[in-house]
Amino acid sequence: MGVDLRQVVAGILTLTMFVMLGQMIKRDHFDSLQDKLPGDGEDAHFESVNAIENDGLVKLSKRSKGPWMEDIQELKPCWSRTDLDEIEQSRGYVTFSLTNGPEYHVSQIADAVVVARYLTATLVLPDIRGSKPGDVRNFEDIYDVDKFMKSLDGIVKVAKELPNEISIRDLAAVKVPNRVTEDHIVESVEPVFKSKGNIRLATYFPSVNMRKTAQKSSVDSVACLGMFGTFELQSEVLEVVDSMIERLRTLSRKSNGKFIAVDLRVEILENKNCHGSGSARAKSCYNAQEIALFLRKVGFDTDTTIYLTQSRWDNSLGVLRDIFPKTYTKESVMPDEKKGKFLESEDSEFEKVIDFHICSQSDVFVPAISGLFYANVAGKRIASGKPQILVPADIPATSAPITNYLSPYVAKRNHLAYSCFC
């Protein structure tokens, strides 16, 4: 039986039309998503965005199995240091506490440094307060005091504690919004400081938005220094983080030591505020099954090592481990001799700090939960040349390009960190 050439040509044309139609539908799916970043409200949503390869920002690695992306050159600080005259550093004290975990600490210290600098006041080393009443730690329990004080030398005078003659009860309480502006300090902080002489500062968060703004301010350089140039873990905590990362890399031999960190905490997923917005394509969080399917569809092999910020294993995570057997929580990769202090105690402050730094140093970071943790981990990764941040999405097809899901903080270069680093 002969083959009609016209039928063959017609069949090829028909197949081509279906392929083109599928691409049009797929493009319409991604382009129609809401242009909304986490931080526009309490129930913030992720934003999907098509990333374009340019200037070496997004390059897939050819050296390892899977859709791994390469690091870029570490960025350099582009803020300027303008030292203050030492004589001016004697106009009272600004005290404050670090609360709610490292993603908040970053912003709290930046605001405190900005306020103290503007007032030419002495900044008192903060304590660290947990979620439970009476749960207070010293700054040096988690962070490097010498690094902190040295980084602010000539910018803000730092005292380890208040002088004995000043009572904490006599301090005037002042609240400032995150990313406090000079105008706000002039209107709401400076009058109280001049009247009382010493203040206790508290930062509140009207949103978790960390996008950079077009408007320049005289306090920008000080805010950049406070946010990105002051914090370093104290040696024992740093040792634990490094040992856990080394363990994860050892478990990742088939991917040349590369691993994924996923911010996925069951207690938050179970919260009633963690849900879709009515649109299947705009969500504030993703569960274990959704994360597993997302990672497979963008091309990660089942041998990929995954670190979860969930502290201890929960049965709801089983579906993720079914697809990615090398899925671990802290209890699996933390050295046994360190668990008594850093894991098995009731205090979770150490656990939050460990998660923050592992997510900042992993080869790929996937925020299953929208919020400030995602935003400030993104800032730290951008600064250190690790822009591989994938925002999850429900993918209807069986596969999708990984670059379609690069965080808009990176793809659009609209994170505050891009104002601080060049």
Q: For residue range 139-167, what is the model confidence (pLDDT) as tens digits?
A: 999 999 999 999 999 899 999 999 999 98
Any idea which of 246-260, 274-288, 369-383 has the lowest mean pLDDT? 274-288
pLDDT in tens, 352-370: 999 999 999 999 999 999 8
Helix (H/G/I), strand (E/B), else coil: 422:
coil
pLDDT at 65 over 80: no
Residue among 231, 217, 227 at smallest CA distance from 108: 227
Q: What confidence score (pLDDT) does residue 30 get?
A: 22
Print the SS3 string covering 268-284: HHCCCCCCECCCCCCEC
Compute the mean pLDDT over every residue in the chain, rounded to the nearest whole number.
82
Read off the pLDDT of each residue in 12-33 and give the average, rounded to a whole number. 35
Report d(CA 310, CA 329) in Å as an integer. 6
Who wins on pLDDT, 210 or 327?
Answer: 327
Comparison of pLDDT for 346 and 370, the residue scoring more: 370
CA distances 286 to 8, 318, 368, Å, are 46, 15, 5
Query: Which range has the worst mean pLDDT, 113-122, 129-138, 306-315, 388-397?
Result: 129-138
pLDDT at 133: 73
What pTM, to 2 d.p., does this model score? 0.83
Please check the confidence at residue 38 and state whether its pLDDT lies above 80.
no
Whether 17 shows a pLDDT value over 60: the answer reads: no
Q: How far apart are CA 13 and CA 19, in angstroms?
A: 10
pLDDT digits (tens, 9 = 90+) for 189-198: 999 999 998 9
pLDDT of residue 277: 47
For residue range 309-334, what is the model confidence (pLDDT) as tens digits?
A: 998 888 989 999 999 999 999 999 99
User: What average pLDDT score do residues 75-88 get?
Assistant: 67
pLDDT at residue 12 greater than cutoff 50: no
First vs last C-alpha separation in the chain: 69
| Token representation of residue 9 | 């040509």
Q: pLDDT digits over 247-270, tens only?
A: 999 999 988 999 999 999 988 887
- In the structure, what pLDDT confidence band is assigned to residue 9 with cuts at 50, 70 and 90? very low
% pLDDT > 70, the chain: 77
Q: Looking at per-residue confidence, does 12 or 128 come out higher? A: 128
Q: Which residue has the tokens 């992993």?
A: 362
For the chain, the farthest-separated pair of C-alpha atoms sits apart, in whole angstroms, at: 105
Q: At what angle are helices 102-119 and 220-228 packed, to 10 degrees?
A: 140
Q: State the pLDDT at residue 83.
A: 57
Q: What is the mean pLDDT of residues 282-287?
A: 81
- With a cut of 50, say whether residue 415 has pLDDT above it: yes
DSSP 413: -
Work out the burial of residue 83: count CB atoms within 10 Å of its CB; fewer than 13 is exposed, 13-18 middle, 19 or more buried. Answer: exposed
Which domains are seen in the chain, by residue range? Answer: 91-227 (no CATH), 233-418 (3.40.50.11350)
Q: Binning pLDDT at 50, 70 and 90, where does residue 207 land?
A: confident
